[in-house]
Chain A
Amino acid sequence: MGGEEDDDDEDEEDALVGVVISRMPPPSSIKKEFLKKWLVGLKALSNSRSSSTSKKEMSVLERKKAIKLSADVAMASLKNGTTSWSRALIQNASKDGNNRTLLKSMLGSEYDKKLRIGSTTTSIMCSKGIRNTTVLRRSCGLRRARKISKDQRVRAGLMAKRLVKKRTQVLRSLVPGGEYMDEYSLFEETLDYIMSLRAQVDVMRRLANASAFSSKS
C-alpha cells in the first residue's frame, strides 16, 4: 500500500517536472525572486485561514484579491523603490487599511521607509509634458508622393496631437502613479512596468499550471 502510493507520487512529480521544465524556458532570477516574495504573501494567506476560528473561511473572491495583491506587491518590491510605478503601487496598496498585515509581512521593516520616500518624490514630479507628436513622422525619412495642401497638413497635425494627448492620458491611468509623471518619464516607466507585468504573468501562469496539474490525482 505504502509502496504504491510512493510510486504514484513519484510518477506525478516526474510528470509535473516534465510539464513545468521542458515546455518552458527556465525562469530568470527575477522571476525566482518574485516567486519567493509572492509565496511569503501567499503563506500569510493560508496562515490567516487556518488560524481563524471566529471568522468564516475566505470566499473565493477575497482569496483572489489577496493573491493578486501579493503578486502585485511582490513584483513592485523587487524594484527597491527605483521606479515610480513600483512606489506608487505600494503606496496605493497601503491606503487600504485591510492590506496592512499583508504588506507588513511582505515588506517588513522597509514598509514605513518606502511610504515616506514615495510621498516626497511624487510631489516633485508634477511638471508639464513634452509635445512631440511629429517626432516619428519627421525622423522616418519617408516622404509621401502625393501632394497634400498645407491646410490639410496643419489640420492632420493638430488631430494627431490631440489623439496622442488623449492616448497619453489613457496610458497615465494604466501605469501606477502615471498622473504625476512627465511624458518622458511616463514612457520610461511604461517600458519597465510592462516588463515586470510580463514576468509576473509568466510566474503566475506557471504556478497555476503546476497546481492544476498536481491537483488531478
Chain B
Amino acid sequence: MSGRRSRSTQASAVSRITDDQINDLVSKLQQLLPEIRDRCSDKVSAARVLQETCNYIRSLHREVDDLSERLSELLATADPAQAAIIRNLLMQ
C-alpha cells in the first residue's frame, strides 16, 4: 500500500540523486578533515575520505571523553561563585 508506494518513490529518488551531489558531500567532508585538507586533495579516494572521517570522529569522541574526565575532577570542588565567574567569562 503506502509502504510499496514510498519504496518505489524512494527508489526513483535514489537514482535521481546525482553523482554531483554525492561528490559535493564527499568534498565537504574532505574540507573538514585536517589530515586530507592540507595535502593534495584531487585524487583522494572515497575509501580514504571515509577512513579519515571515521578516524576524526573517533578522535573527537576521545576528546569529549578526556575533557569529561578532566572536568569531573575539576568541578568536584567548584563552589557556586566560581561557576558564576566562569559562566560570565565564557559567554562574552
* Partner among A164, A174, A188, A205 whose Cβ is within 8 Å of the Cβ of B57: A174
Question: What is the 8 Å Cβ interface bit string for chain B, positions 8-32, against chain A (1 contact, 0 not)?
Answer: 0010001001011111011011001
In contact, B60 and A188 (Cβ under 8 angstroms): no
Within 8 Å of chain B (Cβ to Cβ): is A158?
no
* Partner among A137, A184, A194 whose Cβ is within 8 Å of the Cβ of B45: A137
In contact, A64 and B90 (Cβ under 8 angstroms): no
Count class of interface residues, chain B: 35 or more
How many Å lie between the Cα of A195 and that of B56 in the bound state?
Answer: 11
User: What residue of chain B has the Cβ atom nearest to residue A13's Cβ?
Assistant: B85
How many Å lie between the Cα of A35 and that of B6 in the bound state?
Answer: 40
Within 8 Å of chain B (Cβ to Cβ): is A191?
yes
Given the known A-B contacts A67-B71, A208-B74, are A184 and B91 also in contact in the complex, defined by CB atoms under 8 Å? no
Given the known A-B contacts A60-B72, A184-B17, are A21 and B25 also in contact in the complex, defined by CB atoms under 8 Å? no
Given the known A-B contacts A187-B22, A201-B67, are A130 and B89 also in contact in the complex, defined by CB atoms under 8 Å? no
> Which among B51, B85, B90 has the greatest number of chain A C-beta atoms within 10 A?
B90
Count class of interface residues, chain A: 35 or more
Given the known A-B contacts A32-B91, A191-B32, A197-B64, are A171 and B75 also in contact in the complex, defined by CB atoms under 8 Å? no
Q: Interface-forming stretch among A95-103, A104-112, A147-155, A209-217?
A: A209-217
Chain B proximity of A126: nearest CB distance (Å) = 10
User: What residue of chain B has the Cβ atom nearest to residue A67's Cβ?
Assistant: B68
Within 8 Å of chain B (Cβ to Cβ): is A63?
yes
In contact, A205 and B89 (Cβ under 8 angstroms): no
Given the known A-B contacts A171-B54, A191-B32, are A182 and B14 also in contact in the complex, defined by CB atoms under 8 Å? yes
Question: What is the 8 Å Cβ interface bit string for chain A, positions 15-33, against chain B (1 contact, 0 not)?
Answer: 0110011000011000010
Main SS class of interface, B: helix
Question: What is the 8 Å Cβ interface bit string for chain B, positions 53-92, against chain A (1 contact, 0 not)?
Answer: 1101110110111011111111111100011011101111
* Number of CB contacts from chain A to chain B under 8 A: 169
* Partner among B50, B69, B92 whose Cβ is within 8 Å of the Cβ of A168: B50
How many Å lie between the Cα of A194 and that of B57 in the bound state?
Answer: 7
Residues in A whose Cβ lies below 8 Å from that of B53: 171, 190, 194
In contact, B19 and A71 (Cβ under 8 angstroms): no
In contact, B50 and A194 (Cβ under 8 angstroms): no
| Contacts of A1-19 to chain B: CB distance below 8 A | 13, 16-17
7 additional A-B residue pairs with CB within 8 Å, beyond A20-B90, A21-B89, A191-B29? A65-B68, A136-B44, A190-B29, A197-B64, A204-B67, A207-B86, A215-B74
Residues of A that sit less than 8 Å from B by CB? 13, 16-17, 20-21, 26-27, 32, 35, 39, 42, 46, 60-61, 63-65, 67-68, 71-72, 124, 127-128, 130, 132-133, 135-140, 142, 160, 163-164, 167-168, 170-171, 174-175, 182, 184, 187-188, 190-191, 193-195, 197-198, 200-201, 203-208, 210-212, 214-215
